[in-house]
Amino acid sequence: MLLEVKNLKTQFFNDVGDIACTCVNETSFEIQKGKTVCIVGESGSGKSMTSLSIMGLVEEPGRVTGGEVLFEGKDLLKQNETSMRSIRGKDIAMIFQEPMTSLNPSYTVGYQIDEVLRLHKKELNKTQRKQKVIELFELVGMPLPADKYNEYPFKLSGGQRQRVMIAMAMACEPKLLIADEPTTALDVTIQAQVLELMNELQAKKGTSILFITHDLGVVAQMADEVIVMYKGNVVEQASVEDLFENPRHPYTKALLNSIPRPGKVKRKSRLDTVDENINYLDFPKEIR
């Protein structure tokens, strides 16, 4: 077992110290080595807060108020800032949604990946690091890897930037990769390429992936295990086959029904939506 999240609770507080919002409520799940777990849910359901809580990056006025995050048996919530810094980037890496703003415009992309190596792989010297960066560019399928070392981010396309982000995340061969909607800002063909790349890398390096998305099509392509979140709560957890063939929780059913299927939508009929008037938390959780 690589990561075990037990009863994780993240809350935000207002100025006088009262709870303003419980963004993640008693969430528990596990990630096995080499497997992909997807978290799905609508906007504001607590997907991203869950990942930030695992990394210990919840900013004031928010706080993780309860639960455990066991990474290889160590509780990440009890680590101090220094030991968290050595885990971040080295054992757990993260990719973001917006490749336009996730690279520093002041430095070349090669330098930025080099920086990660400098922080976590102190045994490598300058030439070895450069060699390694170019290898990483090759690994993520970057065209002309040696030339790209000295490019600034503004010269790269969105897909290339996301490849740089993946290269940066893979630089120290992390055990866990958290991908927070990495393909949302990309167009469909590039999205398919990036997903394929992530699957390939997982097969090669045995990395576990925590994949956050609201796109059920991506879930079907990536996941081994799926967690459905709704208003900060896990409402259903199942293997990917189970979830798509036999969704049990009413919210999951509503979510799946809201995807229009070619040929199945009748002319002039309305598309199915998730009914806002139902509080889906009233139904029992379906965790398998």
Partner 1 sequence: MINEENKILEFYKQFKKNKSALIGLYIVVVLISFAIFAPFLAPYDPLIQNLEDRLIAPFWAEGGSFTHILGTDDFGRDLLSRIIYGARISLMIGVISVSISLFFGLIMGASAGYFGGKTDIVIMRIVDIMLSIPAILLAIVIVSILGPDLFNAMIAIGIVGIPTFARIVRASVLAEKEKEYVIASRINGSSNFRLISKVILPNCTTPIIVQATMGFASAVLEAAGLSFLGLGAQPPTPEWGAMLADSLQFITTAYWMIVFPGIAIFLTVMGFNLVGDGLMDVLDPKMKDR
Q: Which of residues 196-255 bind partner 1 (CB under 8 A)?
A: none
> Does the protein bind partner 1 through residue 148 (CB under 8 A)?
no
Q: How far is the CB of 69 from partner 1 (least distance, A)?
A: 15
Is 103 or 139 the residue whose CB approaches partner 1 more closely?
103
CB 165 within 8 A of CB 112: no
> Does the protein bind partner 1 through residue 173 (CB under 8 A)?
no
- Which one among 60, 123, 245, 276 touches partner 1, defined by CB under 8 A? 60
- Compute the distance between CA of residue 239 and CA of residue 217 in angstroms, rounded to an integer: 15
Is 71 or 251 the residue whose CB approaches partner 1 more closely?
71
| φ and ψ of 35, to 5 deg | -105, 160
| % helix, strand, coil for the chain, step of 5 | 35, 25, 40
Burial class from Cβ neighbours inside 10 Å (0-12, 13-18, 19+) for residue 281 reads: middle
> Does the protein bind partner 1 through residue 14 (CB under 8 A)?
no
- Compute the distance between CA of residue 236 and CA of residue 256 in angstroms, rounded to an integer: 13
Is 101 or 131 the residue whose CB approaches partner 1 more closely?
101
- How many residues sit in the footprint of partner 1 (CB under 8 A)? 31
- Compute the distance between CA of residue 5 and CA of residue 26 in angstroms, rounded to an integer: 10
Is 106 or 127 the residue whose CB approaches partner 1 more closely?
106
> Does the protein bind partner 1 through residue 107 (CB under 8 A)?
yes
Q: What x-and-dash track marks residues 19-38 binding partner 1 by CB under 8 A?
A: --------------------
Strand order in the sheet with 208-213: 92-95, 176-180, 208-213, 36-40, 225-230, 233-239, 286-287
- Which one among 57, 146, 265, 278 touches partner 1, defined by CB under 8 A? 57
Q: Which stretch binds partner 1 (CB under 8 A): 12-20, 98-106, 231-239, 279-287?
A: 98-106
Burial class from Cβ neighbours inside 10 Å (0-12, 13-18, 19+) for residue 248 reads: middle
Single-letter amino acid code for the residue at 163: R
Distances in Å between the Cα of 288 and the Cα atoms of 29, 40, 168, 171 are 11, 16, 35, 35
Is 47 or 120 the residue whose CB approaches partner 1 more closely?
120
Q: How far is the CB of 54 from partner 1 (least distance, A)?
A: 11
- Which one among 55, 77, 192, 287 touches partner 1, defined by CB under 8 A? 55
- Which one among 29, 71, 96, 230 touches partner 1, defined by CB under 8 A? 96
Judged by the rule CB under 8 A, the positions of this chain that interact with partner 1 are: 55, 57, 60, 85-90, 92-94, 96-98, 101-108, 115-116, 119-120, 150-151, 165, 168
